[in-house]
Each structure stands twice: as C-alpha cells, then as structure tokens.
Amino acid sequence: MTARDARLHAFRSDLADARLKGEVAAERFVAGRPARITAAVADLHKAPRPDAGINTQALFGDNVLVFEDAEGWAWVQAERDGYVGYVADNVLGACEHALTHIVSVPRTFLYPGPDLRFPIGGQLSMGSTVTVTGSAETRGTHYALLPSGQAVIARHLRPIGELADDYVTVAESFLGTPYLWGGVSAFGIDCSGLVQLAMRMTGKDVLRDSDMQGASIGTPLEPGPEFSGLRRGDLVFWKGHVAIMTDAKEMIHANGHTMLVSREGLKEAVERIGYLYGGPTGFRRP
C-alpha cells in the first residue's frame, strides 16, 4: 500500500473513502455524501470530540464529502483543499443551490432583510460563498438577497470567478486580525491560513498547512546575500511557519508573537524566531 497523508486522504483502519480502495487498508470503504457548510465558520477537529485539537476550519458555503455521521459528529473531507477532519453535524446542510458569489471584504453581516437598521442575523468572512437570488435597494444601499431571505451588502460580494489582482494586497487587508491556531477566516487566522485565503481570492487554490505549501507553491527561490533577491509576494518558510514578503525587506504574517496579523522586517523576524525555531527553511515564489 502507498503511504498517504491522513490530512488529505480519508482513511482509518475501520473506514475509508471508496476512491482509496486498493491504496489503503480499511475494513470498509464508502463513497462520500455531498454536503455544505451552513455555519459562518466550522472547526475541523482531529477527533470527534469538542475538546480535540482543531486542525483547520471550513467557511460558509464550502462543500464537503461526508464519510460518516455518528453521535453528533461527521467525518468529512473539504472539497476545496482536501483537508479531512471531524465537524459537528449541525453545521452541515444540503447542496441545494448553485453558489454564485463570494464575500470579497474581510467581514460582512447577514441581515434578516434588506435594511442595515435591522438587527444582524449573522456574519460572514471573506472567502465565504453564497447563492444570490435577487436584489433590493433601501435608502440608497444595495443588497443581495439569499435563498434564506437574508440580505448581504451587495458591494461586499463578488461573482465567483471575478478575482482580486494581488494576493499580497488581500493579505494586507487582514492586518490586525487575531491569530488563531487552525484559523482560516477574518475572525481568526493562522500563518498558512492567511496565505491560503489570500491566494484563493486571486483564483489560486493552495494546500492548507505550511509544510504542504512549502513543498508545492510556485518554485523554490534562492534569496541571495542578505535576502537581497526577495520581492513582494515571495514566501518565507520556517519550521511550522510561513510569511509573505510585502516588499524586499518587510513581510506580513499571522503570528503567535503579536497574536495578530502584523508587519515585521524580515531580518528582525529571522533574528527573533531563530533562537526558538532556527532560521528559514526555504523560500518560494508563487
């Protein structure tokens, strides 16, 4: 049997994705059932327990495949990045409508109707996808209407397929966002989550964790003496960490030092991080 990364392939000793039959050992193989995330953010846990660690998250509108649903937990694989984990089964719904738009600002509100004076009924992060079924205008503000009857500020959405130009600019819009281990949203995000979400908004889907990104995004890069060969958009990797260069000398990253998405000079970061985790392990140009 070929070795498989359990983060990206749904297999256990008792159960596995039917697509892996003949490649992994399991007592039973099943085809995944399509479902869709209906919560603003859904935590993907390592095990079907609320106190189990969180590896990543899924956003509103994300499609998943469900391989098991038992005792309030669903074992799923995210269709967008392939990540496998356990989610509470009450965050799943049917894939009833074709998704048409994506949230293109860091955060937006869900209103019970097309009026910004209504009490909000929820909020969505950039990267969340919705189905727009109509439009309305109230006192000069334009709203997109959803199948649920809820409304979103129309200018906070973009048609799926209409892309941002520069992923670094997208990442910079998250400055000040709280750091959250496993986070992928504007409510809390980690280093590789920031890279993944920012790149997604420019039409490039990349893998989730920093080790995966360090092995797959773009091409390896020799930074040159004193990092003189780096430019905006290049990625700097440490063991378990990644940052985005905003120019030849500064970078942006979600980090546990400030517990925020923040700017930092590369040389200062190399010195600060080095005594705990060593120097950079690689550089890549998307």
pLDDT in tens, 51-110: 999 999 999 999 999 999 999 999 999 999 999 999 999 999 999 999 999 999 999 999
- What is the Cα–Cα distance from 110 to 97, expressed in whole angstroms? 18
pLDDT value, residue 2: 52
Residue 285 has pLDDT above 70, yes or no: yes
The 10 Å CB-count burial string (b at 16+, else e) for 228-265 is: eebeebbbbbbeebbbbbbeeebbbbbbeeeebbbebe
**Is there a contact between 200 and 81 (Cβ–Cβ < 8 Å)?**
no
Read off φ and ψ for residue 85, nearest 5 degrees: -175, -175
Owner of token pair 């967008």: 80
28-43 mean pLDDT: 98
Give pLDDT tens digits for 253-265.
Answer: 999 999 999 999 9
Residue 192 has pLDDT above 60, yes or no: yes
Which of 163, 202, 197 has its CA nearest to residue 180? 197
Owner of token pair 């966002």: 177
**Is there a contact between 32 and 67 (Cβ–Cβ < 8 Å)?**
yes
